[in-house]
Amino acid sequence: METLLYMQTDVFPALLRGFGVSIRLIVPSALVGLAIGIIVGVLRVYGNSFVKIAADLYAGLFRGIPLVIQLFIWYFGLPYFKIFLSPFAASVLGFSLCSGAYHSEYVRGALLSIKRGQMLAAESLGFSKIGMIVSIILPQAVRRALPGAGNEIIYLIKYSSLAYMITCIELTGEGKILASNSFRFTEIFLTVGACYLLMTSVAAIILAKVENHLKIPGFEQQRT
């Protein structure tokens, strides 16, 4: 009875607030990350050698350094250069850049999988290089990259919990504060866990719908 009351008056409002912050972290990070991933992926395949090296370097760096460290750098490191980010902004920046690096990997793989002959055909019709990339290559690459990119978005939902490490109090952060005050770790973290499960499930359903919407005969592939 006492537990129920505590859950109602303290836990739910706090977790709801944290849930809201998490959503506000995840949605822009997912969108910006995807945009970065597409641009960088294209550059990694079609850029000139200088651009290619720079883009590869970006992807290698941001995939190779633990995300927590990246967040620490954005939040604690940038002030040395007189750049001050709020915990929220530093988190979105960190997530977007990290996510973008992973997306670029899927986009790159998808671009490389498109048969050279189709590019010759596009060129023979008079397409410019950019026109060919936009009209012929990307629409196919998006479909091929979608399963991997979808998984990356689901990972993002889960690693968004790292934001609390730089004092951006989202779902996990609220849970941690509640738990250290009340010592009711089990109830609270079960609830937090359920919230993440809800988000990842909704994301999976949306992704499946998008994949279904974009489905074309000849592009069937199983989700990994």
Partner 1 sequence: MTSPILRIENLSKKYGQREVLKGVSLEVEKGDLKILIGPSGAGKSTFLHCINFLVKPDEGHVWLDNEEIHPARKRELYAYRQKVGMIFQDFNLFDHLTAFENVRIGLVKVKGIGKDAAGARAAQELERVGLKEHMQKYPSQLSGGQKQRVSIARALAMDPEVMLLDEPTSALDPELIGEVHAVIRDLGKSGMTMIMATHQIGFASSLASEIIFMEDGRILEQGTPSKIFNDPDNSRTREFCSKITDLYGER
Alpha helices (H) along the chain: 2-6, 12-46, 49-64, 67-72, 87-112, 116-124, 129-132, 138-159, 171-182, 185-213
Tell me which of 115, 186, 212, 222 binds partner 1, using CB under 8 A: 115
Tell me which of 80, 81, 213, 217 binds partner 1, using CB under 8 A: 217
Binding to partner 1 in span 123-142, by CB under 8 A: 123-128, 131, 135-136, 139-140
Mark the segment that binds partner 1 (CB under 8 A) among 34-42, 48-56, 87-95, 120-128: 120-128
Q: Are 92 and 27 in contact (CB under 8 A)?
A: no
Tell me which of 121, 197, 202, 210 binds partner 1, using CB under 8 A: 121
- If one asks whether residue 64 binds partner 1 (CB under 8 A), the answer comes out as no
Tokens read off for 55 = 């883009």
- If one asks whether residue 113 binds partner 1 (CB under 8 A), the answer comes out as no
End-to-end alpha carbon distance in the chain:
44
Coil, helix or strand for 172? Answer: helix
Q: Which positions lie near partner 1, rule CB under 8 A? A: 115, 117-118, 120-128, 131, 135-136, 139-140, 143, 216-219
